[in-house]
Amino acid sequence: MSIYLDHAATTRPRPEVVAAMDAVLDDAWANPSSTHAFGRRARAALDDARESVARDLRVDAREVVFTSGGTEAINLAIKGAAWAGKARGHQLISTAVEHEAVLNALAHLEKFGFEVILLPVDRYARVDPDALSAALTERTVLVSLQYVNNEVGTVQPLAELVRRARMQRHVLVHVDAVQAAPWMDLDVPALDVDLVSIAAHKLEGPKGVGALYIRRGTALLAQQHGGSQERHRRAGTENVAGAAGLARALHLARQERPDVPERARGLRDRLRDAVLAVPGVELTGHPRDRAPGHLSVVVRDADGQSLVTALDLEGIACSSGSACAAGSTEPSHVLTAMGYPPEEARGALRLTLGRSTTTEEIQIACRVVPEVIARVREGSRALVADTPAAPAARVPVSVPDSVPDARGGYEPRDPE
Ligand SMILES: *Cc1c(COP(=O)(O)O)cnc(C)c1O
């Protein structure tokens, strides 16, 4: 028995997606830029995919650029907007709980003289709109906001944040909607933003393909140079099969709402109740405003990575919220920004459900996860029996009312 509860990391491409990609690889495999009949078939497949994605985002097909994934879409949005807006200002605003793609793109720009402000978050990983208002200046070029957090599932109060950002004219707003796209409708005109990043593999599409919505008229400097593909915004022969897979995955996800999210929420709540019934286990992220399939907790007196390994042996695939760098476990920048001290953050455990998660799987997980937590705690207690650990001090959490320039505990992992 193997149970996959790591859908926030990636998802298995669904059969309809594989079939759509297979058809393209079989029949529309040529270069879409070729003018012969083969090329025209590939062009038609690419156009179809673009129109489908555009319809599902309720935007124009010319506003959709295919990329090699969420990371590239985010890099194009942030670096492209920053460089194009450099004459107007050099300030970039984002949040302390972003994905590494956002944080490291910003850290890169800092080396070229851009000023980066990372807004703090509350206990639930939510950004205070007042903090955004206070940070905005005439020199702000871009505000980059995450819609749904990948580690703790929190949904940001996006409408209010965007409304605040819009009070400063000329500011571009980018939304990392990679974790939102599987669960929520992305009605882009209603969001009133300029740039939106999505990735296929988080919504049962293939890895290595994503899309960036670029509102018509938005000045953006290309970040990859070469041919004139994607209306000069992203050079390179297009991944036609990937685009077709993304289009199919996005469309099916949208068609299946609200049923799939509602079902996932019901199963997630059952698992949540079973896991939170274990003493010393605390939910991380917002209790209600969170992705329907997302459960994240911190387990006191246990190491997240040990829990993941022990659960893997029991056939349950999940992850620890914290990133592990070469053997040494660093506390997650997200939990750190939320105010969790390192000794609590190291007990992070993330169980994320998907469309294909079954009731039987959750029944098993409801029994096995608490058992494994108890067993791992026993083990770590045995190990530290003669070296009593210092009591974990709780760091008081407050939402600063002034504009912070704190980096939220985040250090770029791979400095260039
Ligand atoms: C996965 C993820 C990304 C990166 O997307 P890739 O396609 O894996 O490059 C960016 N942001 C969030 C919130 C994610 O979950």
Task: Dump pLDDT digits (tens) for 362-374.
Answer: 999 999 999 999 9
Ligand 1 closest atom vs CA 74: 10
Q: Ligand 1, from 66, 94, 152, 179: best to mutate by most atoms within 8 Å of Cβ?
A: 179
Degrees to nearest 5, angle at CA 41 with 37 and 44: 130
Per-residue confidence (pLDDT) for residue 386, from 0 to 100: 53
Q: How far is the CA of 316 from the centre of ligand 1 (A)?
A: 22
Q: How far is the CA of 210 from the centre of ligand 1 (A)?
A: 9
Q: How far is the CA of 70 from the centre of ligand 1 (A)?
A: 5
**Contact call for residues 349 and 298 (beta carbons, < 8 A):** yes
Shortest-distance Cα residue to atom 8 of ligand 1? 70
Q: How far is the CA of 262 from the centre of ligand 1 (A)?
A: 23
Ligand 1 closest atom vs CA 8: 15
Tens-place pLDDT, residues 10-21: 999 999 999 999
Among 323, 324, 366, 399, which one carries the catalytic annotation? 324
Q: Ligand 1, from 75, 175, 178, 352: best to mutate by most atoms within 8 Å of Cβ?
A: 178
Per-residue confidence (pLDDT) for residue 381, from 0 to 100: 75
Per-residue confidence (pLDDT) for residue 268, from 0 to 100: 98
> Which residue intervals of the chain bear CATH 3.40.640.10?
15-255
Shortest-distance Cα residue to atom 14 of ligand 1? 178
Question: Which residues, at least 6 apart from 351, have a Cβ–Cβ distance to it below 8 Å?
Answer: 5, 6, 271, 275, 295, 296, 318, 365, 369
Per-residue confidence (pLDDT) for residue 402, from 0 to 100: 40
Q: Ligand 1, from 95, 99, 151, 333: best to mutate by most atoms within 8 Å of Cβ?
A: 99
- In this structure, what token pair is assigned to residue 243? 């685009």
Ligand 1 closest atom vs CA 101: 10
Ligand 1 closest atom vs CA 202: 1
Ligand 1 closest atom vs CA 72: 9
Q: How far is the CA of 352 from the centre of ligand 1 (A)?
A: 15
In this structure, the residues whose C-beta lies within 6 A of any atom of ligand 1 are 69-71, 74, 99, 101, 146, 150, 176, 178-179, 199, 201-202, 210
Q: How far apart (Å, rounded) are the C-alpha atoms in residues 296 and 286? A: 10
Q: What's the Rg (C-alpha) of the chain?
A: 22
> Which residue intervals of the chain bear CATH 3.90.1150.10?
258-384
Residue with tokens 């992992």: 413
Shortest-distance Cα residue to atom 3 of ligand 1? 70
Asked about 324 being catalytic, the answer comes back as yes
Question: Which residues, at least 6 apart from 336, have a Cβ–Cβ distance to it below 8 Å?
Answer: 342, 345, 408, 409, 410
Ligand 1 closest atom vs CA 149: 13
Q: How far is the CA of 139 from the centre of ligand 1 (A)?
A: 28
Residue with tokens 């039987």: 360
Q: Ligand 1, from 104, 147, 150: best to mutate by most atoms within 8 Å of Cβ?
A: 150
Q: How far is the CA of 347 from the centre of ligand 1 (A)?
A: 23
Shortest-distance Cα residue to atom 10 of ligand 1? 70
Q: How far apart (Å, rounded) are the C-alpha atoms in residues 106 and 75? A: 9
Tens place of pLDDT for every residue, the chain, 416 residues?
799 999 999 999 999 999 999 999 999 999 999 999 999 999 999 999 999 999 999 999 999 999 999 999 999 999 999 999 999 999 999 999 999 999 999 999 999 999 999 999 999 999 999 999 999 999 999 999 999 999 999 999 999 999 999 999 899 999 999 999 999 999 999 999 999 999 999 999 999 999 999 999 999 999 999 999 999 999 999 999 999 999 999 999 999 999 999 999 999 999 999 999 999 999 999 999 999 999 999 999 999 999 999 999 999 999 997 554 445 568 999 999 999 999 999 999 999 999 999 999 999 999 999 999 999 998 877 766 655 544 444 444 443 344 333 344 444 444 33
CATH of domain 15-255: 3.40.640.10
Q: How far is the CA of 99 from the centre of ligand 1 (A)?
A: 7
- In this structure, what token pair is assigned to residue 215? 């509102």
Ligand 1 closest atom vs CA 148: 13
What Cα–Cα distance (Å) separates residue 364 from each residue in 4, 11, 181?
12, 20, 28
Per-residue confidence (pLDDT) for residue 407, from 0 to 100: 41
CATH of domain 258-384: 3.90.1150.10
Q: How far is the CA of 197 from the centre of ligand 1 (A)?
A: 9
What residues does 325 pair with on adjacent strands? Answer: 328
Per-residue confidence (pLDDT) for residue 385, from 0 to 100: 61
